[in-house]
Structures are given as structure tokens and as C-alpha cells.
Amino acid sequence: MADRPRFGPAGVPPLFRMFKATLADVPKLLQKEGLDAFEYEAVRWGANPQLKREDAEKLGLEAAKNDVLLSLHGSYFINFCGEKAIIEASKKRLLACVTAAKWMKAYVVVFHSGFYGKRLKREAFATCVKALKGTVETMKSLGINNVKIGPETMGKRTQLGSLEEVINLCETVEQTQPVIDWSHLHARDRGRFGTVEDFRRVVDEIENRLGTEAIKNLHCHFAKVEFTSKGERRHHILDEKRYGPDFRMLAKVIAEYRLKPVIISESPILDLDAIRMRDLVRKELMN
């Protein structure tokens, strides 16, 4: 849990790569920028961790030393709404990510739940719940109790991941927490966030359903987003005024409710927009 609003990038910022920083260098570099969160991207992983345990543990040690809170984004190749073989492969991929998260002491593994396909939405949801319950049972049998799995709100209407579905998953499955991608919600609902009150409604719904701790320590993704009638198309930087949502509105709600979220920037300029979001929240907290 965050002890204050925390901000950081989804993955290693491009500038860090230009200077050939190692993974273990990232927390110190973020700390120098005044950032205090980092989401490791394991998005192309298969059934085994594609990161050496010693490297994961070193990242965890450096993160603790530099007061950077770690999370991990799980494999894109997960679909808990598919056929049996697809679900079993998805479990293995998520477990590989959870194992690495345990090594680096990341507190949550973010994941995409899956696609409806030809199933009715309620059938896809029921299939997903059963699969996730089985995954959590395996996690417990492996002694992985300090890592949560975080179903993410999704930006396309073909994907399981509406706000209602994510809350329902977290009400139903143990060791889960919601991951609110504000950009995805904005795109999925074709411009959901136009006022501060639109953000308040989401916060209130999560608190009413999952409790005060769930909302105060929310794990979030944010970027400006371009969308079509089908949902999310691509992310944009905060300065692109033609796209939404407007982070300043969310910053007002964070200050108003005294929230302590982790905000992960998925902007094309990862750390730079993370810094900007940090500064906007700090400004609201001083008002």
C-alpha cells in the first residue's frame, strides 16, 4: 500500500535506455527525478519467468533503498474467458508473473482478464471467476501470499474489463485488487470523463462496493487516449488537448478524497508525464 500518492512509469523510460541503464539502475534514476513507483513490464512472458531471480531480487533491493514501490504488468497472452487449454496456459503465464513479483517484492500483478469471444458476457465472466479462483489457490499452495493480482479495466468492448466487471471480480475472488485504467474507461465508454463529477462517481462506486482501503490505495494507469466506436486506439501525451481524459480533474478528486493512489503513466513520454501528474496533484493538495 502507498503511504502517499505515488507516481512512476510503465516500463523503463526511453532516456534511461539511451544511457544504457541496467534494470537495477532504474529505481535510483526514478528517485533522482522525484518519482517513487515503477511498473515492470512482463507483457510478453510465457509460462516461465523471463527474468533471472537474482536480477528480480536486485531490482527489489534497489527499489526499497530508493523508496520506489514496485508493481508488475502481467503477460498480454492471457485469456481467462477462453477454452480449457487457453485458460490453463493463461494460468501458467500469470503464475510466472506472480512468481517474479514475489522475487522483486512487487505488491500487485496487473493483468487483462480476457475476451468475450462468442460467449455471452455473463458466461465469460463466470468462466473467468472459476479460472482466477483456481489461480489464487495455486498461489497460496506456493506460499505466494503477499502479492495481489489486479484485474484491469479495459479499453475495448470486446474485452472483459468494464468497471462493473472488475469490481465484481474483486468482490468474488480472494487476493485481488482493482486496477483502474482511467484512459481505458474513457475509451470504452466513448468519452466517459468530461467533468470532475464523472471521476467522483467511479471513486464512490469502488468505495461503496470494495471499502475505504480499496479506494484510498488504488492502483491506476493514466494517459490521454484516442478512441473509436470500438474503444481504445492509442495513448497520447498529457499536452495533447484534443484527447481526454483531463488529469487535472482526477487530481482534484485525489486531493478532495485524500487518496493515496499509485499512478502509473502509460503516456508515450512515460516519466515526464508521471512528473507532470505528480506536480498537478501536489498543487491540488496545497489548495
Of the ranges 9-18, 170-179, 275-284, which one carries the lowest mean pLDDT score?
9-18
CB-CB contact of 202 with 163 (8 Å): yes
Section 4-28 average pLDDT:
93
pLDDT at 261: 97
pTM (predicted TM-score): 0.96
Section 48-71 average pLDDT:
97
| One-letter identity of residue 168 | N
- Give me the chain's average pLDDT, please: 96
**196 has pLDDT over 80:** yes
In this structure, how many other beta carbons lie within 10 angstroms of the beta carbon of residue 277? 26
**20 has pLDDT over 90:** no
Q: Which three cell numbers stand for residue 267?
A: 503516456
6-286 sits in which CATH class? alpha beta
**194 has pLDDT over 90:** yes
CB-CB contact of 221 with 183 (8 Å): yes
pLDDT at 126: 97
pLDDT at 17: 82
**The length of the chain, given as a count of residues:** 287
Burial code (b: 16+ CB inside 10 Å, e: under 16) for 117-136 equals eebeeeebbebbbebbeebb
pLDDT at 287: 82
Confidence of residue 18 (pLDDT cuts 50, 70, 90): confident
Section 154-178 average pLDDT:
97
Confidence of residue 33 (pLDDT cuts 50, 70, 90): very high
Section 59-85 average pLDDT:
97
Helix (H) or strand (E) holding 39: strand 37-41
Residue 2, CA distances (Å) to 22, 152, 154 in order: 25, 18, 23
pLDDT at 3: 83
**1 has pLDDT over 70:** no
